[in-house]
Amino acid sequence: MPFEYVCPHCHNRTKVLDGFAGQSGPCVGCGKNVTMPHFNEQGVLVPTMQIASKSTVSRSAGKKRGWMPAIIGSAIVAFCFFLSATAVIYLWPKMQQNIQRSYQRRDLENMKSLATALNAYSDRFGTYPPPVVFDVGGKPLYSWRVLILPFMGYDDLYKQFDLKQPWDSVSNSNLHRAMPGEFASPNSPDAIGNHETNYVLITGPGTLFPPSGPLSPKGVDKPTLLLVETKNNIGWCEPGDIDLGRSFRVGNRPMVDVGGLHKSSFSAMTVDEEAMRIPSNVPQAVLDALVTPNGGENVQTSTFFD
């Protein structure tokens, strides 16, 4: 008498003759190997334990082996993320400092060009150029920046200037737009577009540029600042520098305070054409000592040099 068999794989129902009880073979529905129920000693049909096919065993073993690599891989990813996050936390201040230094280096390169030209002018004429050129009546005409053009390689631009007329006269006003790039900071959002300068002298009593006339770089204290960075608000050939008599501190007031382009320090160039990055929190006494050419002060500035 046939009995009904349900495939454990595809659940296909099949009528099986008694003669096939206990035998194995492919399922007519899915083709997988199955074993028919068998009759016990009492003649009762009982299920037989299924023997999995090779492919089934292989896939099961593969699954059992697969979870461990997955866990190990996840652990490695999590550990790498932890290391990366930790590195960023500890290295971020240093990364920011390096970024600022790279930006500031461009200012120092410009200032180096100006300092070299100022010293070349001094070698030719015995002293640094006057900060402002006046006419016979005492009217200010133009800045020292015009005078150093030939020493920067801008002879043609210098020859176009009418040195007897002010910088904004009819004959000179168009030259305002021909500003050499060395006079403007690439870290200022508008200096180049407005043809304005960011590098100035410190003038006034007790500086390299006192009211009595500019000094020579020979015999001055070391280090003595020749150029400092400031925010821009005047044209490059327009008279204007930082007057020690008005103010002299680190801040954000254009053409009055030193600094303002960088967060934690400001750029400066010494008489010896050495680059300096001076902290914004520098003591005022140290700042004063750095601009006096013959004060004889002994200040610690070794950490300021680039």
- pLDDT of amino acid 93: 54
State residue 59's pLDDT score: 45
Residue whose structure tokens are 């065993």: 57
**Residue 85 tokens, joined:** 């996050």
Residues 6+ apart with CB under 8 A from 284: 249
Using CA atoms, how far residue 23 sits from 35, 52, 56, 225, in Å, is 6, 14, 20, 103
Q: How far apart are CA 57 and CA 71, in angstroms?
A: 23
pLDDT at 97: 57
Block residue for tokens 């540029």:
209
Between the alpha carbon of residue 295 and those of residues 53, 219, 221, the distances in Å are 98, 12, 7
Q: What is the per-residue pLDDT for 94?
A: 55
pLDDT for the residue 66: 55
The DSSP bridge pattern shows strands 225-229 and 33-35 to be unpaired
Q: What is the residue-averaged pLDDT of the chain? A: 85
The confidence score (pLDDT) of residue 85 equals: 61
The length of the chain in residues reads 306
CATH code, residues 1-63: 2.20.28
Q: What is the pLDDT of residues 280-293, one digit of tens each?
A: 999 999 999 999 99
pLDDT of residue 40: 74
Give the pLDDT confidence score for residue 292 in this predicted structure. 94
3-state secondary structure of 145: helix
How far, in Å, CA of 191 to CA of 174, rounded? 17
How far apart are alpha carbons 98 and 50 in whole angstroms? Answer: 70
In the chain, CATH 2.20.28 covers: 1-63
Predicted local confidence at residue 10, as pLDDT: 78
pLDDT score recorded for residue 63 = 45
Q: Please choose, from the candidates 278, 248, 280, 101, the residue with its C-alpha nearest in 3D space to the C-alpha of residue 187.
A: 101
pLDDT of residue 110: 97
Tokens of 104: 């500031």
| Grouped pLDDT means (10 residues each) for the chain, 306 residues | 74 71 76 76 65 42 54 71 61 57 90 98 98 97 98 98 97 95 96 97 96 96 96 96 89 94 94 96 93 87 86
pLDDT value of residue 302: 87
Residues 114, 117, 118, 122: what is their CA dihedral angle, to the nearest 10 degrees?
A: 170
Structural element, H or E, at residue 24: strand 24-26
Residue 112 parent element (H or E): helix 54-125
Contact call for residues 113 and 184 (beta carbons, < 8 A): no
Q: Give the model's pLDDT for residue 55.
A: 42
Taking alpha carbons only, the member of 39, 35, 29 closest to residue 52 is: 35
Q: What is the pTM of this model?
A: 0.69
**3-state SS string over 154-212?**
CHHHHHHCCCCCCCCCCCCHHHHHHCCHHHCCCCCCCHHHHCECCEECEECCCCCECCC
Q: Is 281 exposed, middle or buried (0-12, 13-18, 19+ CB in 10 A)?
A: exposed
pLDDT of residue 68: 62
Cα 75 off chain centre by? 33
Only one residue has tokens 């200032």, namely 111
Q: Please state, in angstroms and rounded to a whole number, the distance separating the CA atoms of residues 153 and 114.
A: 11
Residue 57 φ then ψ, to 5°:
-60, -45
